[in-house]
Amino acid sequence: MVATNNKTPILFVHYGDDWIRGSERCLLDLLTHLNRQKFVPIVWCNSKVMANEIKKLNIEVTCQRFPLLFGWHAPRFDLVSFFKLIKQGLKLVECHSIKLIHSNSGAPCQWLNIVARQKNYP
pLDDT digits (tens, 9 = 90+) for 20-66: 999 999 999 999 999 999 999 999 999 999 999 999 999 999 999 99
pLDDT confidence of residue 72: 74
pLDDT at residue 2 tops 70? no
Sheet strand arrangement including 8-14? 60-63, 39-45, 8-14, 100-103
pLDDT at residue 86 tops 80? yes
Predicted TM-score (pTM) of this structure:
0.91
Count the Cβ atoms, other than its own, within 10 Å of residue 17: 12
111, 88 contact by CB (below 8 A): no
Q: Is 3.40.50.2000 the CATH number for 8-118?
A: yes
Residue type, 13: V
* Calpha distance 41→102 (Å, rounded): 10
| Domain locations along the chain | 8-118
